[in-house]
């Protein structure tokens, strides 16, 4: 079990239409609930099931932009939904988004890759896809707890091979 496994769920669903990742585990600072991740992805149209320790998600017709309201701030869920929304059809608004430096850095990376994101560094993020391109020649600020920019880069590389 990998504690950051759920962070590739959003980009994989958005790019591939389906994904299966293990539930997170192995975190030294405690459990990592994924309810906000799943709620946010469901708001974008993902069908999600939990099966034998795995999150199985599908969006056969792709993800659709929508309004996602987090009841509490979550850095991981903001990362996940932001990456998924960058490839969703239409506009997504994320309310009560985390504002940590890692979120800002990821948002700037997604913009460099073709996403349109407004409200970077604020608790309300709005955006959608402008034109997708891959730009991995950019240093990213690593999330000290999750290192999800590395996970996102891995998803991009996998998607290029698909």
List residues with catalytic annotation: 27
Tokens 């309201």 locate to 69
β-strand pairing of 115-118 with 124-129: antiparallel
Q: What's the alpha-carbon Rg for the chain, to the nearest Å?
A: 14
Question: Do 56 and 20 meet the contact criterion of CB atoms below 8 Å apart?
Answer: yes
Q: What is the largest CA-CA distance in the chain?
A: 39
């Amino acid at each position: 079990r990998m504690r950051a496994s759920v962070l590739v769920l959003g980009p994989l669903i958005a790019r591939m239409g389906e994904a299966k990742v293990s539930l997170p585990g192995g975190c030294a600072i405690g459990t990592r609930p994924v309810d906000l991740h799943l709620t946010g992805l469901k708001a974008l149209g993902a069908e999600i099931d939990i099966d034998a320790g795995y999150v199985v998600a599908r969006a056969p017709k792709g993800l659709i932009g929508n309004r996602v309201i987090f009841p509490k701030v979550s850095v991981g869920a903001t990362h996940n939904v932001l990456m998924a929304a960058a490839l969703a059809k239409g506009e997504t608004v994320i309310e009560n988004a985390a504002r940590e430096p890692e979120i800002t850095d990821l948002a700037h990376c997604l913009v460099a890759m073709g996403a349109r994101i407004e409200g970077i560094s604020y608790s309300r993020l709005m955006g959608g896809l402008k034109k997708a391109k891959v730009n991995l020649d950019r240093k990213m600020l690593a999330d000290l707890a999750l290192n999800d920019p590395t996970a996102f880069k891995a998803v991009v590389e996998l998607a290029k091979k698909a």
